[in-house]
A = this chain, B = another copy of it.
Amino acid sequence: MDHQQPLRNIADIGEFSLIEELTRTFRSEHTELIEDIGDDAAGIIQDNENVQVISTDLLVEGIHFDPMYMPLKHLGYKAVSVNVSDICAMNATAEYITVSIAVSSKYSVEALEELYAGIKAACDNFTVRLVGGDTTASPFGLTISITAFGNVKKEKLTTRSGAKNFDLLVVSGDLGGAYMGLQVLEREKEVFKSNPAIQPELDGFDYIIQRQLKPEARKDVVAILSALEVVPTSMIDISDGLASEILHICKSSSVGCHVYGEKIPMDTQTIQTALDFNLDPVTAALNGGEDYELLFTIDQKDIAKIQSNPNFTIIGHITDANDGIYHIDKQGAAVALKAQGWKHFS
């Protein structure tokens, strides 16, 4: 370390640049590796036909979850779902997970049993098997580390980098719900803080709260795509928000994109809640994260198979890189799409 230079603050760098910076010296040509460090999942070729893919995530109390309004059972479920979602994003099938926890003494054994009940429910629901883990003490709160392993036939493996000009941009399910669910939960938390006697007002918000607390990895989408005989040209799961994920695909694939705000699928509860909070629903869908839907691109030849399927919505198309990356609003105005960046350090 050269202490002549002032030390750099992590917050000034951002998550993606930080990973790139730290792992710069590790990069080299390895043919067995499909995606490299910094991606959500890594692919390791096992034999001539199959690819093993790996995804790993850390969930930290006070950063990724607040135990005050995140029941531990839901947290366990979500932790597994998030990692299975990363495996789905490579068009692969999740098979195994490891779960490690670091936990402070403020948690009782019963509380941890709740956490593991949620992990178990997710394992059962997504048909993945817990094969190992580590349990240790922590001086502060709870940290959960999950690694998921999946498999995919080599010719079906999908990364972020295969989108090409004229491909169509497709999303599964609907967006913005998890973000609006979080807004409702945070509002009720503030009410509770000021007066614990007041019961939380959650009636009518069940769908969006479910989207926030118990997100479902779209393992079914991988199966549907297989049944439709569609191999996406690129794919990513929507964890940080639609805008951010579109930018990831465009950067990795060296392409541009037009996304149409009015095409973005949203549940009526999401739209209504956004309006109640004086938020633009499209902005919530573009920038609110944690929906864990899949965003992918398809070749135009597959349009008929996708267009007619109720699980999917075509929301835009890929352009040449020189055309840029734009959100086209209702009035037809093009606004350059912006990344939300990584807010956790700020």
A25 at the interface (CB under 8 A from B): yes
Of A95-103, A242-250, A254-262, the one contacting chain B is A95-103
CA distance A305 to B33 in the complex (A): 39
Minimum CB–CB distance for A295 against chain B, Å: 20
Residues of chain B within 8 A of A57, CB atoms compared: 100, 134
Q: Are B10's CB and A112's CB within 8 A?
A: yes
Contact with B along A128-153 (1 / 0, CB 8 A): 01111111111111010101010000
Residues of chain B within 8 A of A130, CB atoms compared: 23, 26, 37
A54 at the interface (CB under 8 A from B): yes
Q: Are A26's CB and B120's CB within 8 A?
A: yes
Given contacts A1-B114, A11-B105, A137-B344, contact A98 B54 (CB under 8 A): yes
Number of copies: 2
Given contacts A7-B110, A44-B96, A130-B37, contact A136 B101 (CB under 8 A): no
Minimum CB–CB distance for A204 against chain B, Å: 28
A198 at the interface (CB under 8 A from B): no
Residues of chain B within 8 A of A223, CB atoms compared: none
Contact with B along A321-346 (1 / 0, CB 8 A): 00000000000000000000000110
Partner of A135, one of B1, B19, B54, B115: B19
Given contacts A15-B135, A37-B132, A135-B22, contact A105 B345 (CB under 8 A): yes
Residues of chain B within 8 A of A149, CB atoms compared: 54
Residues of chain B within 8 A of A11, CB atoms compared: 105
Q: Are A10's CB and B55's CB within 8 A?
A: no
A308 at the interface (CB under 8 A from B): no
Q: Are B37's CB and A136's CB within 8 A?
A: no
Of A58-66, A208-216, A281-289, A310-318, the one contacting chain B is A58-66
Having A18-B135, A26-B120, A30-B129, one finds 20 other A-B pairs with CB under 8 Å, namely A1-B114, A7-B111, A10-B107, A23-B130, A23-B133, A25-B116, A37-B133, A40-B132, A44-B96, A47-B47, A54-B98, A54-B131, A58-B143, A60-B102, A60-B143, A61-B139, A63-B102, A136-B344, A145-B145, A147-B147
Question: B-contacting residues of A (Cβ < 8 Å)?
Answer: 1, 7-11, 13, 15, 18-19, 21-23, 25-26, 30, 33, 35-37, 39-42, 44, 46-47, 54-58, 60-64, 96, 98, 100-103, 105, 107-117, 120, 123, 129-141, 143, 145, 147, 149, 344-345
6 A-B pairs closest in CB distance: A7-B108, A145-B145, A42-B132, A140-B140, A42-B131, A8-B109
